Amino acid sequence: MRKLTQILLTTMSSRLGLVFILLILYWFKSIAAYFLNFNLDIQLGNMQGFYQLALAILNPLPLGLLLLGLPFYAKPTKVYYPLLAIMYLVLFSWLFSNVIYYREFSDFITLNTMLASSSVSAGLGDAAAKLFRPFDLLYLLDIPLIVYLFWKKKVTFDDRPLSFNASFAITSLSTMLFSANLFFAEVDRPELLSRGFSNYYVVRALGLPAFFGYSANQTYQADKERAKASETDLEPVLEYIKEHNAEPNPATFGIAKGRNVIYLHLESFQQFLIDYKLKSDNQEYEVTPFINSLYHSNESFAFSNIFNQVKAGKTSDAETMIESGLFGLNQGSFMVNYGGTNTQQAAPHILTQTGDYTSAVFHGNIGSFWNRNTTYKQWGYNYFLDQSYMSKATSENSFQYGLNDKIMFKDSIKYLEHMQQPFYVKYLTVSNHYPYTTSLIGDEQGFPLAETKDETINGYFATANYLDSAIKSFFDYLKETGLYENSVIVLYGDHYGISNSRNPSLAPLLDKNPETWSSYDNAMLQRIPYIVVVPGMQDGAVIDTYGGQIDMLPTLEHLLGINSSNFLQVGQDLLSPDHEQIVAFRSSNYFVTPEYTSYSGRTYYTATGEEITTPDDSTQKAIDEARDKANKQLSISDMIQTGDLLRFYSENRLGKPDVSTINYNKAMDQLLKIEKEKGQTSSSLFSQRQSSTIDLFDSPTYKALHPEQFLEDSDSSSSSSSSQEEAEE
């Protein structure tokens, strides 16, 4: 032992040795933070999990070495040691601040958060002391110890500098290691840095110092655009909004006024699933019987020609469109790059301002994915009930994108029932997400797999079928509790589930020939369902108007009786007689109209799919006109988004949400407090019924699908809520 101590002290008494020890210390602390403080969502059930684990374990080393190695260039002892101390302290404080910050925000510190002089950082200042845990002392211990060792001369200063070449070798080595790290990170998750996904993906793959660089670059790019923009840029925007305005349809304007709004985000759900029957063993299986019944119901406006308009931001792009009526970006995700900083006037805020709505999102995944936890505040969401509010995720009840949908729906009830009405809530489902894991979901119900050469396609129908029954169980609950009559329920698909490259393998299932599969067919498969259920309505129909996700917000606003003409939203009410049927895809020159489809550089007649190779003058003119309009819509949206133009716009007096009043922790306490304060006037379902509705979720359908849960519940006489409360702890 004594010998070991001696070796350690001697090592630390050389410049190289000290750096080595500091690097090891930083490495250990990082790993401790990764696994004890952060949730990096590494699931060890498969190869990818082990790969991610290896990346996480190794990633503190390259940049740690780079930074601790830089002082080597300083030769005088008096300069070298202070520089080394600074480097170590920088690395350490960055790590430690993140540990503290993560406790409150479940996310990492970005340059933006640091720069924001807003209440967010001020609030943290107050809270930081409270967030400190005794265990954190372990992170700090080495610093006084090292100081002590130098003070007592147990470790001595080394006056022999490293040569320039040796210092350079260390810099080169660490840079090479970092390049390798970057390469392996891209292998795990292609387009990791360009698409953004989620901050924890970057930390998991590249570590905290790299995450800082990444977030600084994001801030720099966004600020550059923002700084260029000025109030005069609003002029063309306002002109467009005015010209493009589609008057509400008097027959439907306000028919859902004052009702609760429940959005059901159908993950990766394409229109072709509607009414689809999968053939297996000479039998036909209807994939989504319940959603089909909604599609054909007299209570629904169901649309058959609505296209997804997302790009790299996928789900986040869909959310951006339905919430704010503006497109995502041409590159990367709007929510990741601008969501936390731009002035936005999104649906939750609009509804609070115009109708005193309470708003919430339910999502079985980690809250920081797609930067939701920050963006949702700017959108004015009062509550964000993410995975941390639901059953503990295990390999049995979840996969990499979160809890299975049925569990998410069931776990949402205990919060939903305490929400003041009217509410605007959104459920983000995940189970029907690539890779369409049938082992968990399909087998449970025994829905057959398709029989193509492509595993991804084969599972897609079974997971969609699972989603369908999850949706049904939720509708059963709504009907059982009476929430149904008082709500408008909107279902939409967010984007394709089967990518274009796989479409030829899908072709036979759609009775198409893979040999003649074309860009036109790819374009048509971008259709997604959009179903607006207005309970009590008699004259619902399947409507064949062409439109896109950008049109969903104005459509909803008009149904709720809110005139959207002075909102900076670039879509149009799909029910308006003025609706122009030009659908822009999120790539210039890609569009669909009822006449023409332009996709991947080719143009077709939409009705027949026949390619237009030598158009006559009038056809060419019509195509050009549609293309220009589609491009214009995108460019106006981009001006608003990248120039942060809403900050200059005050005409509609909507203002923006006060994010300092929004806190996503302790949602239940907040809900109960409001309920109590309101007393007799509380409009939550719980207050109205004077009892919990959690048990009503266990509808007959639910029971049939989850016999195992039922055995458990009947064992314990207390309601299912208490067992979930335990699971949360």
Closest CB to ligand GP9 belongs to which residue? 314
361 forms bridges with which residues in the sheet? 384, 426
Pick the closer one to ligand GP9 by CB: 320 or 481: 320
Question: Hey, is 256 helix, strand or coil?
Answer: coil
User: For Mn ion, what does the binding mask look like between residues 265 and 294, x meaning CB under 5 A?
Assistant: --x---------------------------
Structure tokens at 197: 């996904």
Which residue bears the tokens 């082992």? 439
Tell me how far apart the alpha carbons of residues 500 and 521 are, in angstroms, rounded to a whole number. 9
> Which of Mn ion, ligand GP9, none is residue 424 near (CB under 5 to 8 Å by kind)?
none
Q: Tell me how many residues contact Mn ion (CB under 5 A).
A: 4
- Check the CA dihedral 312-313-319-325 and report its sign: negative
Q: Where are the beta strands (DSSP E) in 308-445?
A: 358-363, 383-385, 398-399, 402-403, 423-428
Binding range to Mn ion, per CB under 5 A, among 144-152, 312-320, 496-504, 525-533: 312-320
Q: How far is the CB of 315 from ligand GP9 (least distance, A)?
A: 3
Cis preceding linkage at 435, omega within 30: yes
Residue for token pair 């089967």: 498
Kindly name the residue from 315, 375, 597, 693 that is annotated as catalytic.
315
Of residues 315 and 555, the one with the C-beta less far from ligand GP9: 315
Instruction: Map the footprint of Mn ion across residues 241-270, applying CB under 5 A.
Output: 267
Q: Which is nearer to ligand GP9, 198 or 249 (CB)?
A: 198
Which residue's CB is nearer to Mn ion, number 424 or number 496?
Answer: 496
Buried b (16+ CB within 10 A) or exposed e, 60-85: bbbbbbbbbbbbbbbeeeeebbebbb
Which C-beta is closer to Mn ion: that of 314 or that of 472? 314
User: Between 480 and 519, how does the x/- string for binding to Mn ion read (CB under 5 A)?
Assistant: --------------x-------------------------
- Is 495 labelled as part of a ligand binding site? yes
* Pure H helices in 70-198: 77-105, 111-115, 119-131, 137-140, 142-151, 164-188, 192-195
Among 631, 633, 597, 585, CA closest to 312: 585
Which element (helix H / strand E) includes 159? none
Closest distance to ligand GP9 from the beta carbon of 400 (Å): 9
Which residue minimizes CB distance to Mn ion?
315
Hey, what amino acid is at 165? N
Contact flag: residue 333 with Mn ion (CB under 5 A): no
Check if the beta carbon of residue 357 is closer than 8 Å to that of residue 424. Answer: yes
For ligand GP9, which is the closer residue by CB, 309 or 365?
Answer: 365
DSSP symbol at 691:
S
**Residue in the structure block whose two tokens are 């320039």:** 164
CB of 369 to ligand GP9, least distance (A): 4
Minimum distance of ligand GP9 from residue 395's CB (angstroms)? 18
Residue 494 is labelled as binding a ligand: yes
Q: Which does 640 bind (CB under 5 to 8 A by kind): ligand GP9, Mn ion, none?
A: none
| Ramachandran assignment for 268, one of left (phi > 0), alpha (psi -120 to 50 degrees), beta (any other) | left
430 binds, among ligand GP9, Mn ion, none (CB under 5 to 8 A by kind): ligand GP9
Tell me if residue 281 falls in helix, strand or coil.
Answer: coil
- Which of ligand GP9, Mn ion, none does 522 bind, CB closer than 5 to 8 A by kind? none
Residue 411 or 644 with smaller CB distance to ligand GP9? 411
Q: Is 315 a catalytic residue?
A: yes
Q: Find the binder of Mn ion among 315, 400, 699, 720 (CB under 5 A).
A: 315
CA distance 176 to 297: 61
Question: What's the Cα-to-Cα distance from 102 to each of 117, 132, 306, 670, rounded to whole Å?
Answer: 18, 11, 40, 21
User: Tokens representing 205?
Assistant: 């793959």
Report which of 621, 593, 617 is spatially closest to residue 606, judged by C-alpha positions. Answer: 593
Query: Measured from the CB of residue 124, what is the shortest distance to Mn ion in angstroms?
Result: 31
Give the orientation angle of helix 164-188 with respect to helix 47-58, to 10 degrees.
Answer: 160
CB-nearer residue toward Mn ion: 246 or 273: 273
Please identify, using beta-carbon distances, which residue of 200 and 301 lies nearer to ligand GP9: 200
**Residue 430 C-beta: closest distance to Mn ion, Å:** 8
Taking the complex as a whole, how short is the minimal distance between the CB of residue 44 and ligand GP9, in angstroms?
Answer: 20
- Flag whether 557 is marked binding: no
Nearer to ligand GP9 among residue 312 and residue 568 (C-beta): 312
Q: How far is the CB of 581 from ligand GP9 (least distance, A)?
A: 27
369 interacts with, out of Mn ion, ligand GP9, none, CB within 5 to 8 A per kind: ligand GP9
The partner in contact with residue 334, picked from ligand GP9, Mn ion, none with C-beta cut-offs of 5 to 8 angstroms by kind, is none
Cβ at position 434, least distance to ligand GP9 in Å: 7
Q: How far apart are CA 269 and CA 607, in angstroms?
A: 23
**In this chain, which stretch among 119-127, 306-314, 524-532, 622-630 interacts with Mn ion, using CB under 5 A?**
306-314
Residue numbers at the binding site for ligand GP9 (CB under 6 A): 314-315, 365, 369, 401, 428, 430, 433
Q: What letter does residue 447 receive in the DSSP assignment? A: P
Residue 365's binding partner among Mn ion, ligand GP9, none (Cβ under 5 to 8 angstroms by kind) is ligand GP9
Smaller CB separation from Mn ion, 107 or 494: 494
Q: What is d(CA 113, CA 118) in angstroms, rounded to the nearest whole number?
A: 9
β-bridge pairing 487-493 and 260-266: parallel
Distances (CA, A) of 182 to 40, 98, 203, 206, 400: 17, 22, 12, 7, 22
- DSSP alpha helices (H): ranges in 371-501? 372-379, 405-416, 442-445, 455-481
Q: Strand, helix or coil at 340?
A: coil
Site for Mn ion in 569-628 (CB under 5 A): none
Give strand ranges (E) for 294-357.
300-307
Q: Taking a C-beta distance cutoff of 8 angstroms, is the pair 530, 552 a contact?
A: yes
Region near Mn ion per CB under 5 A, out of 90-98, 315-323, 473-481, 634-642: 315-323
Q: Which does 414 bind (CB under 5 to 8 A by kind): Mn ion, ligand GP9, none?
A: none
DSSP state of 682: -
345 phi/psi in degrees, rounded to 5:
-120, 90
- To ligand GP9, the closest distance from the beta carbon of 312 in angstroms equals 9
Least distance (Å) from ligand GP9 to the CB of residue 402?
6
Characterize the bridge pairing of strands 541-548 and 300-307. parallel
602 bridge partner residues: 599
Task: Give the span between the Cα atoms of 330 and 516, in whole angstroms.
Answer: 30
**Is the bond leading into 422 cis (omega within 30 degrees of zero)?**
yes
Binding residues for substrate: 433
Binding residues: 267, 315, 433, 494-495
Binding residues for Mn(2+): 267, 315, 494-495
Please identify every residue annotated as catalytic: 315
Binding positions for Mn ion, rule: CB under 5 A: 267, 314-315, 494
